[in-house]
Structure 1
Amino acid sequence: MDDETPFKFTFLPKQLPTLCNKDFRTYFEKWYLLDRLKAWTFSFDKPYQHYKSKEFLTDLLKDESVLQNIQIMGDSGSWGRMDSPSSVDIEQLKCSVTSMDFFDKLKKEGIVRENGSICKCFDEMYEGITISDELRKMILMEDSDNFESYSDDERLELIFKIFSHLVVGGPICQYEDNVQAYYDVTKSLYKDLVCVQKHAETKELVVKSEAYKVTAKDKSGTLMFPSTDEHEQTFAYVTIDPIKRHATILYHCWGKGLW
């Protein structure tokens, strides 16, 4: 009977350390992510099983404790409470990366120089985003020479998603000339979001968490979460720690009417 009852969630009033870090907050402000990149963590009341991921995430976004504590950006650009959705769609992300070596190919492909400086390119526009370097070009533009530097599977890695969103930033973003700040914040935020353990036999690090991209619609089938508008930089990711029984929502909205 317990298997059929909805998961119950309890809000944990704590911030992710990365979002509170004084040095990192300077970067978030520069990238126009400060107070716009948000995270909420909840505990849940019974064991999580992968085959129940859709039910789990649906229960999460319909839970009263969750709805009372998370905020979403509305059409006017103001923050407000989210209504209970009619349907929830999920896409599983990968969490197999345990080393920043994952980003070594940025240097191998000539996107980033050996000293960490990011190679520039002629300005182009994509969904209101100014692309003036090879890094953002690789992330966003499928017809760029370096887009295939990372495979489709690699682009589904949570750490790639985090890195990409930090690099692109918000609508009024001051970009970095050197990649190191992006590496530092990505590594810290990734560690906040996933649970890592050593394999008993191989002693290698293994990520135990699962991660999902989540969207939700209202009764009319209209997108309502993370926003009514789709955008490359509007997202809601949920990481599930089955050991601590914690679920964390990482949220950002590009916003409407900014340009």
Structure 2
Amino acid sequence: MAAGRGAKPAFTFRHLSNKKINFLGDGHIRDLFVKWSMQGRITVQVFSFDQSFQAYEKDNFVLAFFQDPNVMANLKILSPLSPEWTTLGTEVKKVEAEEVPCSQLSMLFFDCFYTEGIVRETGHIAKCLDEFYEDFIISDQLRQVLLLEESDKYQIFSNTEREEFVFRIFKHLCMGGVLCQFEDTVDPYLETTKAIYKELVSVQKDPETKDIRVISTVFKVTASDDYGPCYPSTKKHEQTFAYLIVDPLKRHVHVLYHCFGGGLFCN
């Protein structure tokens, strides 16, 4: 759903420049990002906001986020025309905010890889004959699950499960960047997914039931200015993405951003 110029921004934001993101500083994960052609193209930034948040306010919230002067001056972006990170720095006129389901509390969500024979007991991913899907080479059954709807393997996750934020993170990591070197075992993907998900998503114990539940709200976002799409890029690609992860208690927004491309350029 789009929010246009008539929407009245009801929130103000502050860039928390000193907020440390642990998985980005992890040497092992950084090496994996290099291997997957994502290092230097993926980032997380944190902003605080000043009013209480409800999910039904998503369009006003996201529009206010992109129109806030502190966001415009600090939100990082990779441009097709520059090898360097720059900031948004343009007046956003329209946003699209897709609410992303976020309910999973453990990595048991992915156990079907083992029970369905996609991954062997050793953690090795079952291979297949090479196929091509858009910008990606499919050389194993894991990527059949992720990409090929006509494959029998695709059915091990329902459409609803595929919408979950943890699944999306996992898929983004598996697909990687333009020069991605794929893993032979599933563990690096699962471990990195867990590290990202655990750091970005907030949980809370229900005072009555004592059950743990996710309290974060996640939006996949795009923004446009007078000239068309401007964020996360002027060029659309499945691996160019931006998610806002909103913690309503701390009043923090984590922005998970990646721009698909080769070298330092966004292609």
Q: Give the TM-score normalised by the residue count of structure 2.
A: 0.90
Query: What letter matches 1:12 in structure 2?
Result: L
- What is the aligned partner in structure 2 of residue 46 from structure 1? 51
- What is the aligned partner in structure 1 of residue 148 from structure 2? 141
Q: Is structure 2 residue 76 aligned with structure 1 residue 71?
A: yes
CA distance in 1, matches of 2:42, 2:94: 24
Q: 1:172–1:188: structure 2 CA closer, same or farther, 3 Å change rule?
A: same
Query: What letter matches 1:174 in structure 2?
Result: Q
Q: 1:117–1:77: structure 2 CA closer, same or farther, 3 Å change rule?
A: farther
CA distance in 1, matches of 2:148, 2:91: 35
- What is the aligned partner in structure 2 of residue 16 from structure 1? 21
Task: Name which of structure 1's ranges 121-130 and 47-56 shifts more when overlaid on structure 2.
Answer: 121-130
Contact 1:231 1:254 in 2 (8 A): yes
CA distance in 2, matches of 1:215, 1:110: 37
Contact 2:241 2:258 in 1 (8 A): yes
CA distance in 2, matches of 1:34, 1:255: 11
Any gaps of 5 or more consecutive residues in structure 2? Answer: 1-7
Question: In the alignment, which of 177, 202, 209 is matched to residue 195 of structure 1?
Answer: 202
Aligned residue pairs total 255
Q: Is structure 2 residue 232 aligned with structure 1 residue 226?
A: yes
Q: 1:114–1:85: structure 2 CA closer, same or farther, 3 Å change rule?
A: same
SS of aligned partner of 1:236: strand
- What is the aligned partner in structure 2 of residue 90 from structure 1? 97
SS of aligned partner of 2:125: coil
Contact 1:238 1:248 in 2 (8 A): yes
- What is the aligned partner in structure 2 of residue 172 from structure 1? 179
- What is the aligned partner in structure 2 of residue 210 from structure 1? 217
CA distance in 2, matches of 1:213, 1:91: 5
Any gaps of 5 or more consecutive residues in structure 1? Answer: none
Contact 1:77 1:255 in 2 (8 A): no
Q: Is structure 2 residue 32 aligned with structure 1 residue 27?
A: yes
SS of aligned partner of 1:146: helix
Contact 2:9 2:61 in 1 (8 A): no
SS of aligned partner of 2:161: helix
Contact 2:239 2:260 in 1 (8 A): yes
Q: CA deviation at 1:124?
A: 1.7
Query: What letter matches 1:71 in structure 2?
Result: K
CA distance in 2, matches of 1:231, 1:150: 23
Q: CA deviation at 1:258?
A: 7.4
CA distance in 1, matches of 2:50, 2:184: 45
CA distance in 1, matches of 2:82, 2:156: 35
CA distance in 2, matches of 1:62, 1:143: 42
Question: In the alignment, which of 20, 30, 36 is matched to residue 41 of structure 2?
Answer: 36
Query: What letter matches 2:27 in structure 1?
Result: K
Q: CA deviation at 1:77?
A: 5.0
Task: Name which of structure 1's ranges 30-39 and 78-87 shifts more when overlaid on structure 2.
Answer: 78-87
Q: Sequence identity of aligned pairs in percent?
A: 43
Structural RMSD (CA): 1.7
- What is the aligned partner in structure 1 of residue 114 from structure 2? 107
Deviation track 1:23-56 (CA, whole Å, cap 9, x = no partner) reads: 2111111111112111110000111112111111
CA distance in 2, matches of 1:8, 1:258: 30
CA distance in 2, matches of 1:74, 1:16: 23
CA distance in 2, matches of 1:74, 1:124: 31
